[in-house]
A and B are shown apart, each in its own frame.
Chain A
Amino acid sequence: MINKNIHSYPKLDISTYLSEFINQRKLFLKNINHSIDYDTDNIQYEVNRVIYSYISLNKLSSTLTSRLNEAIVGFKSLRVKDTKLIMYLKRYFELHRTLYAELESKNHKLDATSNKNDINILLRVSYLLQLMHIKTNDFNYLSTSIKINEFMLNDFTSYELEKSSLLKYLINYEILILRNYNENI
Chain B
Amino acid sequence: MKISNFGIILYPSTRSLAYLHMLSKNNIMPKEVIVMGKWPFLPENILIESKKYSYEDKYFSIDDSLEWIIKNKNINLSSIDDTDINSQELHKILNKTKCKNFIFTGGGILRKEVLSLGIDFIHVHPGDINYYRGSTCFHYSYLRSESVSCTTFIMKNELDRGEVLDISRIHQNIFIENDQSFFVDYIYDPFIRSIALKKVLPYLESLEKKNNIIINEFHGDDHHVIHPVLRSLFIKKINNSYTENDEKGIYLTDA
Interface residues of A (CB under 8 A from B): 1-4, 6-15, 17-18, 21, 87, 91, 94, 137-140, 142-144, 146-147, 150, 178, 181-182, 185
Of B53-61, B149-157, B216-224, B247-255, the stretch lying at the interface with chain A is: B216-224
Contact call A185/B233, Cβ cutoff below 8 A:
yes
Distance in angstroms between the alpha carbons of A11 and B140 in the assembled complex? 20
Distance in angstroms between the alpha carbons of A9 and B181 in the assembled complex? 9
B209 at the interface (CB under 8 A from A): no
Q: Chain A's nearest CB lies how many Å from the CB of B68? A: 21
Query: Which chain B residue shows the least CB distance to A146?
Result: B227
Which of B41, B236, B240 touches A18 (beta carbons < 8 Å)? B236
* Interface size bracket, B side: 35 or more
Q: Which residues of A contact B139 (CB under 8 A)?
A: 139
Q: Chain B's nearest CB lies how many Å from the CB of A24? A: 10
Contact call B222/A91, Cβ cutoff below 8 A:
yes
- Complex A-B: 22 CB contacts under 8 Å: A1-B81, A1-B82, A6-B185, A9-B185, A9-B231, A12-B228, A14-B178, A14-B239, A15-B178, A18-B229, A18-B232, A18-B236, A91-B224, A94-B222, A137-B144, A138-B144, A139-B139, A139-B143, A143-B230, A178-B233, A182-B236, A185-B240
Contact call A6/B13, Cβ cutoff below 8 A:
yes
B47 at the interface (CB under 8 A from A): no
Contact call B225/A14, Cβ cutoff below 8 A:
no
B110 at the interface (CB under 8 A from A): no
B210 at the interface (CB under 8 A from A): no
Contact call B236/A10, Cβ cutoff below 8 A:
no
Interface residues of B (CB under 8 A from A): 12-13, 37-38, 41, 81-83, 139-140, 143-144, 176-178, 181, 185, 221-233, 235-237, 239-240
Contact call B227/A14, Cβ cutoff below 8 A:
no
Q: Chain A's nearest CB lies how many Å from the CB of B231? A: 6
Contact call A181/B233, Cβ cutoff below 8 A:
yes
Q: Name the residue among A144, A178, A185 with the largest chain B CB count within 10 angstroms.
A: A185
Contact call B227/A12, Cβ cutoff below 8 A:
no
Q: Which residues of B contact A150 (CB under 8 A)?
A: 227
Query: Which chain B residue shows the least CB distance to A139?
Result: B143
Q: Which residues of A contact B13 (CB under 8 A)?
A: 6
Contact call A3/B37, Cβ cutoff below 8 A:
yes
Which of B38, B227, B228, B239 touches A2 (beta carbons < 8 Å)? B38
Q: Which residues of A contact B226 (CB under 8 A)?
A: 139, 143
Distance in angstroms between the alpha carbons of A4 and B162 in the assembled complex? 27
Given the known interface contacts A1-B83, A91-B222, A140-B221, the answer about A14 and B185 at a Cβ–Cβ threshold of 8 Å is no
